[in-house]
Amino acid sequence: MTERNFWRVDQHGKNGTGLIPICHDISDTAVDGASFPMSHTAYIDPTGCFTAGVWACDAGTLEIRNLSVDEACYLIEGRVVITDVHGNSDEFRAGEGFVLPKGFTGTWHMPVAIKKYNAMHNPDGGLTPLEA
């Protein structure tokens, strides 16, 4: 059998075995709730510049300071209210997507538990699976 050149991003984790508990990213600080983040990194490129996977968390609010990656998100479940440092705010629901650029500072409020697909890029490399 030859090496496969595509990867499944399963919202239920690797082979459907569930997401793995993780710690929040260094740029994220839980200020209310958001105590149980979970993840599955389905793919990481050989350079460590790009990852794709699933992230979930209970309801709460994260303060994000100087996000270290560009991140594209697609909500599978729940709602998120994103507010930047200038007070611009928008709400996203399951079935909607959005992008947070590298350097983003603001809040990520989850009125209910969420699950999202995400793809992260950092041209400087150094990305590792969240659950490592």
- Say what the pTM is: 0.92
Second CATH level (architecture) for the domain 25-121: Sandwich (2.60)
Q: Is 66 left (phi over 0), alpha (psi -120 to 50) or beta?
A: left
Lookup: tokens for 25: 């990213």
Buried/exposed 9-46: b ≥16 CB within 10 Å, e otherwise:
eebebbeeeebbebeebebbebeebbeebbbbbbebee
pLDDT at 1: 66
Taking residues 78-86, what's their average pLDDT?
A: 98
pLDDT digits 0-9 by tens, 89-110:
999 999 999 999 999 999 999 9
Tell me if residue 108 falls in helix, strand or coil.
strand
pLDDT band of 129, cuts 50, 70, 90: confident
- Average pLDDT of the chain is 94
pLDDT at 56: 98
